[in-house]
Structure formats: structure tokens, C-alpha cells
Amino acid sequence: MFRSAGHARAHVDRLALRPRSYAPPRRLGSPVTVDVSRRDGWPVYRVHPVDARPRGSVVYIHGGGWVNEIAAAHWRLVAQIAAEARTTVVVPIYPLVPFGTAEAVVNAVADLVREVGEVHGEVRLAGDSAGGQIALSAAMVLRDQHSVTLPRTLLISPALDLSWSNPRIPQVQPDDPWLAVPGGRVFSDRWRGELPTEDPRVSPLAGDLAGLGPLTVFSGSHDVLNPDAHLLRDRARAAGVETEFHEGEGLVHVYPLLPTRTGEAARSIIVERLTVGSSSNGPEDAERSAASTSIRMS
């Protein structure tokens, strides 16, 4: 679907006509309970650990190029976070291209995060790929419009600049087996709606990063989104934002979701960072969190 603009447009049309299921699999691989409600027409799932009273919450925004529905790998990660971090994970099923647009979805996610915090206490925000863009954009809206600074925003292979103009992208493209610029431009243009590409609700890398809470970022070096992840790391640190950067050398897009040893190692870090009260969430950890880590394929 990313190979050409024509493939991307055809993919949008197919899914608009026959949407895929967003239902969680019957078996999630972790001991959790799941319930669902509706908020302004959106299904909103809540995933809870079965063997512990949950502490705080995580709002998880799934990826899929703004056009694909949440997938089994997302649900398995959500269940693992809920069970192992002993927290409630809230998963909104947001409207996709061609019906959903950045302005409406990002603002609604920001409102949802505030509501979740009121119900479940301390709330963190996480997302992968397109969901990483929504998550970081929503964190900016929370800061700017509601004076809310999140204790952590965790991003897995986030889309950050929907202009696709980073000069390093053509260097990475031959090594990326998953994403490509032609289709990405089509999906991005549909997603931005009436907003300009440089609006932070579309391209968070274009926004002011100062004043955000701590960031944790995962990115594989064989991902066309990796060059922008480097820019996010550098600009966030320059703006005084505590930023932890995990780069998977030789790894692909959203590698933490994959059933591999490197994916498993990344998921362990993700669970720790999204656990309320873990040692990685305090100011004493700022120096360690500022250091890049590199995960190599084994």
C-alpha cells in the first residue's frame, strides 16, 4: 500500500468500502479483562490486569498509517502492558482515513487523556507509527490548551514530519521493507484534512517541544521514519525535555511489536516505562534516560 500513490489510493477506497475488524482477539496472551464503551461515537476499550488492582493508566494510540485498523500485535502489546505494568490501558478506536482527520482526532485524544486521568489517576500516553504522531501531537495540545504535562509519552517508530522532506529518507528507503514515501504522502495528505502540513497536530516535529514531559522513543535504523526520530531526539533534548532514545540497529518499523528477541527486549523496557512508580520515572533517572541505547539484531 506504500509502494505507489495509486496503490495507496486504492487501499483507502477498499477499506472505506469494507472496513476491517477492530475487535480484540479472543486470546491476548496475558491475564487481562476487557470492556468497551462509546465516547462521541468512538468505541473505547479498557484493558485491566486480572491479578492486581491497577495503578494509574495508559492511553494507547494504535498505528496503521492512519488508514489501517488496530491489529493483533497492538492488542497483544496492550495486554502485556496492562498485565505486567498492572495498569489500566485505554484504547480508543479512532476514525481512519478517509473519514478521520488530524484536527478532530488529536483534539479528541487530548480530551480523552484528561478524562482518563480523572477516573484512573496518573495517566501516560503511548502510540506507534501513525499513533505515535497522534500521541505526541496530543501531548502538545494538552500542554498548550490545558496546561497538562504528562509524566511520560512513549513513542514507537513515530511519524513526526508529514512533509516527508528529511534529506536522509532517500538514504534509508532502500533498506526499509515496510514503508515507502509515495504511499505515505497519500495517507498523510488525506489525514491532515484542512490543516497545513506544518501544523503540530499533523507534524509534531514542526511544533515547540519545550515544556513536554519525558519522552521515550523507539526507532529502527531500517525505517524511513528513523531520520526524523533522530531530529526529535536532538531537538527535544535541546529544548530541555528528558528524552530516552532506543535505536534498533538493522531493525525495521515498529520492531518492538514483532515476535522476535529484540522485540521482546524492547517490550520489557516499554512495560517498565509505563509502570507507575517505577524507578525509571523519577528525576533521579534523568541522566540515564538522556543517553541513547542501541539494540542490535541477534
Distances (CA, A) of 33 to 74, 130, 202, 287: 16, 26, 34, 37
Q: Which of the following is catalytic: 30, 57, 129, 289? A: 129
Active site residue 157: no
* Other CB atoms within 10 Å distance of the CB of residue 46: 20
Please say whether the beta carbons of 57 and 121 come within 8 A. Answer: yes
In angstroms, the CA 170 to CA 38 distance is: 42
- Alpha helical stretches, state H, the chain: 5-17, 72-85, 102-120, 130-146, 169-172, 181-192, 226-238, 261-273, 286-289
* Other CB atoms within 10 Å distance of the CB of residue 91: 25
Among residues 288, 208, 296, the alpha carbon closest in space to that of 245 is found at 288
In angstroms, the CA 238 to CA 236 distance is: 5
In angstroms, the CA 274 to CA 79 distance is: 13
Please say whether the beta carbons of 45 and 24 come within 8 A. Answer: yes
Any idea which residues carry the catalytic annotation?
129
